[in-house]
Amino acid sequence: MPFRIERNDITKVHTDAIVNTANPFPTVGRGTDTAVYNAAGREELLRARRKIGMIEPGHSVATKSFALRKNGIKYIIHTVGTRYNSEKPETVQNLRNCYSSSLEIARKLKCKSVAIPLLATGFYGFPKEMGLKIAVEEISSFLLKNDIDITLVVYDQKSYMISEKLFDDIQDFLDENYEGDIFKDYDTERIPVCGQPVELNAAYVELKVAPVTLFEAQETTTELKDADIAPIDVDSFIRDSKEPLNFQNTLQQHIADRKLENATVYKKAGIDKKFFSKIISNKDYVPKKHVVMALGLALELSLSEYEHFLASAGYAFMPSSKFDLIVKYCVIKQIYNLVEVDIILDSHGLECFAPS
């Protein structure tokens, strides 16, 4: 996936460029700035920074990476934040500009990957929840138009956690709806029926069979003749059916209804172009459940639409799966951004959509 969140020291990631939270003046600041200078080589980086001079809030500049080159890092992009002031909306816009200007420089430098820290939530005083929301929005927006791998690096667990209020809301939802570990795996569960394994795709199956005596079965078999069996014209049935026939039809219909570009959908779902092409063009191919779920989030479906979308691929929400219930909660609350959903999943100790 081109966008993921990682708990790490930004000087230890392996990307073409890293973003540094710089002091506006050509001097070494605190926190991340100090760590970057120490890792890159304090004197060399400071000389390069002095040649640049003062940087205005919301603006970004780039230097060489010096000693960080050994980690595969080619550039350090220096961006200057601003102190948060709830009465001055321009402080929020300045923070947004930090992300957009840093990423634009990475694009111009033809970087294939960039790591950026959670900006302005320390010394500059932005509430961590607000800072994380701005980061996710700006990076997601950039990725809709550009192909580059972006890692949002956070140093501590608190920065990565969602707000306590949202966490409590989700926990209440789970407590009310979770029905325990009925199945071991929400994707496929195989059970034997008459000696043959049958796949269940995230749904309960109840078989109701009327009791039949041996005599009745024999009598029925005797009376049934070849002439009584009407020919089955499957092709005509399919041709005359007005219902969506498969997952691909349903996916394409939602894309058309919303007047979306294919690229918008697969980028929001964290799917690459080649895989999306396989999904959309092969009517007999059904992707795994988590892929279908990601596409449903990218389409920003209502709950009823989302459930129908899952069903078109043979899946459903399972009350025995916390993963399913959290995704369902996000759909109900209209939390569609995949990274925001991943943050919620991670905070509950669950595997995320994005690979780690």
Catalytic annotation, pick one of 9, 16, 33, 187? 33
Place of tokens 């002031």: 85
Q: Which amino acid is at 155?
A: Y
Q: How far is CA 188 from CA 293, 313, 329, in A?
A: 15, 13, 22
Place of tokens 């790591």: 115
Q: How far is CA 206 from CA 17, 202, 261, 299, in A?
A: 55, 13, 40, 32
Is-catalytic flag, 33?
A: yes
- Using CA atoms, how far apart are residues 337 and 212, in angstroms rounded to an integer? 53
- Using CA atoms, how far apart are residues 33 and 214, in angstroms rounded to an integer? 83
- Using CA atoms, how far apart are residues 60 and 55, in angstroms rounded to an integer? 7
- Name beta bridge partners: 191: 198
Cite the active site residues: 33
